[in-house]
Amino acid sequence: MSNTFGTKFRLTTFGESHGKAIGGIIDGCPSNFELDFEQIQAELDRRSPGNSKLTSNRKEPDKVEFLSGIFEGKTLGTPIGFLVWNKDQKSKDYGNLKDIYRPSHADYTYLKKYGIRDYRGGGRASARETVSRVVGGAIAKQILKAQNIEIFAYVSQVGDIKLEQNYTNKFISDNILNCPDKEITEKMISKIKQVRQERDSIGGTINCVIKNVPIGLGEPVFNKFHAELSKAILGINACKGFEIGSGFEAANMLSSEHNDIFYIKNDKVRTKTNNSGGVQGGITNGEDVFFKAAFKPIPTIMQEQETLTTSNEPIIYKAKGRHDPCVLPRALPIVEAMAAMVCLDFLIVDGKSLIDSK
C-alpha cells in the first residue's frame, strides 16, 4: 500500500476511520520556521464534520497533537510526527457491512487486493484519512505564504447550479462553500439541503488558484508540475476529474483562440488569457496556476440499493450511520492542502530560496 506523498517534502499517513487515531509523519520540512498552531487547527476545523447542517453530524474535535520535529514553536528540520485522536466512532452502525459490498465503495477492491478489510466506516479507504493531509498542507501553506505564494479554493458547482465565471483574485467569503457569489451560494446550499431530505447525495466541482507561483517549477518530462498536481488532487477521496487552465474546453477551441500571447508589463513577461493555467511544457510560467476538480456524489445514501454479499449473493442494502450529503464543503481545505504540498515540494526540489521563511 502506498502511504507516502511527495519527493522532498514528504507526508506519510496512517490510521483508519474507526481506529484509535489518524496521524502522520512529515519529513523534509524546512528548519527554523515558526509555526502558527492556531492556523493549523483552523484548517482542520474547516474539514471537521459536525460543523454545519450540510455535513455529517459525526462530532470529531480533530485536535492535532504534535509529537516531534518542533521545538519552542519552530520546525527542527527533523521528522514532524502528529496524531489526531478519533473521538466519536460508532462502529456498531457498520456491523451489517461485514459481509456486504457497498455500491461504489472500495469494499470489493480492498478485499480482493488485500484479502482483508476494515469495514467500519471504510477503514483506510475512508475520507477520515484526509485529516493528515490537511495537517501537512497547513504547514506547507504557511511556508509558502512566507514566499508570497497563496492558495484558495471555492465551490464552483453543485449539481446543475454553477458559477458563470472563474475567480482568480482572492476574495472574502463568509459561507461554508467559500463561494464568491451570494445568490449562487444560496441556491447551492438549498440544493444540498433538498438532496439530504431526499436521503440522497450530490456532486459538484471545486476551483482552486495558486497565486504568485514563481517561474520554473516542474520537472519534465514525467514530473511536470500539472502532472504531479493532478495526481495529488485525483488522490482525494471522491475526486473523479481534474483539469487545468482551459481544460476540456480546449477541445472546442482553435489555436488562434487558445494561445496565450506574451507581452511585457512592469518589465515582466506576462501572458494574455492564461488558458495554460500557469503551466507550459510542464513548467510554471509565472502566472497564477488555476485548476478545477470534479467530485462525485458520496455513494453512501439512506436509500435501498441493490448490491452483493461477500458470498456473491444479491441483497438489498440500506445504509446506516452519519454521512455527508455533499463532499464539497469539507473537500475545500483538502484540495488546498494537496496543492500546497505539491508546490512546496517543487520549490525544495528546484532549490528555490526559502531563506525568507527562516
What pLDDT tens digit does each residue of the chain (358 aa) get?
999 999 999 999 999 999 999 999 999 999 999 999 999 999 999 998 766 668 766 667 899 999 999 999 999 999 999 999 998 666 566 677 889 999 999 999 999 999 999 988 788 999 999 999 999 999 999 999 999 999 999 999 999 999 999 998 988 888 999 999 999 999 999 999 999 999 999 999 999 999 999 999 999 999 999 999 999 999 999 999 999 999 999 999 999 999 999 999 999 899 999 999 999 999 999 999 999 999 999 999 999 999 999 999 999 998 877 789 999 999 999 999 999 999 999 999 988 756 444 4
The total of structural domains in the chain comes to 1
Say which CATH number the domain at 287 has. 3.60.150.10
Report the 10 Å Cβ neighbour count for 44. Answer: 19
Q: Looking at the whole model, is its pTM more than 0.85?
A: yes
SS3 315: strand
Report the candidate in 261, 288, 265 with the shortest Cα–Cα distance to residue 277. Answer: 288
CB of 291 closer than 8 Å to CB of 243: yes
Which residues, 6+ apart, have CB-to-CB distance to 130 below 8 Å? Answer: 47, 236, 237, 334
Helices (H), the chain: 37-47, 107-114, 130-146, 182-197, 225-234, 255-258, 328-349
Quick check: bond before 221 cis, omega within 30? yes
Task: Provide the domain limits for residue 311.
Answer: 4-357
